[in-house]
Amino acid sequence: MTLISGSILSYSTSLPVIFLFMSASMLPLITKAFWMQEPQFNALGLLLVIAYLILSALIPRQNRLLVENIILRIENEHQPLTDPLTELGNRRRLYLLVETLLPSSLRRKDPFSVVMLDIDNFKLYNDKFGHSAGDDLLVTISEILRECSRDQDLVVRYGGEEFLLVLPSTGLDAAVILVERIRSAVKEKTPVTFSAGIATHREDLSFDQLVEKADQSLYVAKAEGRDRYVLAD
C-alpha cells in the first residue's frame, strides 16, 4: 500500500486526491496493526506510520516538480518554429527537420548540403544606419533567401546576421549554383554582400559536425576578404 500510495504521484496532480488516496489506503492498516496488540503487528504499524509521515512530506515537493514538468512540456510543444523578425525557421524548426532528414538521407544514400551564410560588415551597417535599418536589411535578405531556394529547402535564421540553408537531395555543385544565385540577388537588391561556407553531408559526420564544417569554411571566406564562398573539405 505504501508503494501504491507513492506511485499515484505519477498519475495525479491534485494534492487533495493524492492525500485522500494515501490516507484511505494506509490509515486503516495502521489502526489495524496497533489494534492487534502483538509485537510484530505493532512493529508493522510503526513502519507504516513512518512511511505515512515520509510520504506526507515528500508528496507536495514531488507534486510541484510534476506540475512544473508538465508546464515545461506544454510550453515546449507550443514554442514557435519561426523567427519573429524574419519569419524564417528557427533552430527548433531546424532540428525537427534533421530528425527525419538525416535517417532518410543515410537510408537512401541521398546527399544533402548545408550553407552557412553571414552578412558582411553587418555591425558597421547597423552603426551607420541604425538598428531599425539593420532589421529591415535582415528582412530583405530573408525574402531573397526564400525566393532563391526551393520548396523543399529549409532556410533558418541561425543567429544574429547568420543564416543556415539546409538543401535536401543536393550535392556540392547544385549548392554552389544556389549560392551564386543568392549572391547575385543580394548585390542587386541590397547595398551589402555576404560570405558563406558550403558543406555536403558524409556518412561519418553528424549534423552538428556538418554545420561546424560549413561554419569553419564561412570564417575562411571572411578571412580571405569576404563577398565569397568557401567549400568545406
First to last CA, the chain: 63
Read off the amino acid at residue 205: L
Q: Collapse the DSSP code of 159 into the 3-class scheme (helix H, G, I; strand E, B; otherwise coil) and give the result.
A: strand
Of 58, 78, 73, 50, nearest to 15 by C-alpha is 58
Of 214, 213, 205, nearest to 179 by C-alpha is 214
Structure-derived torsion over alpha carbons of residues 138, 143, 148, 151, reported in degrees to the nearest 10: 120
| 147 assigned to active site | no
Of 172, 160, 152, nearest to 213 by C-alpha is 172
Distance CA 151, CA 170 (A): 13
Classify the C-alpha dihedral 56-68-96-119 as positive or negative: negative
Distance CA 61, CA 203 (A): 46
- Active-site option among 161, 162, 180, 224: 161
Q: Tell me the three cell numbers of residue 220.
A: 575562411
Residues with active-site annotation = 161
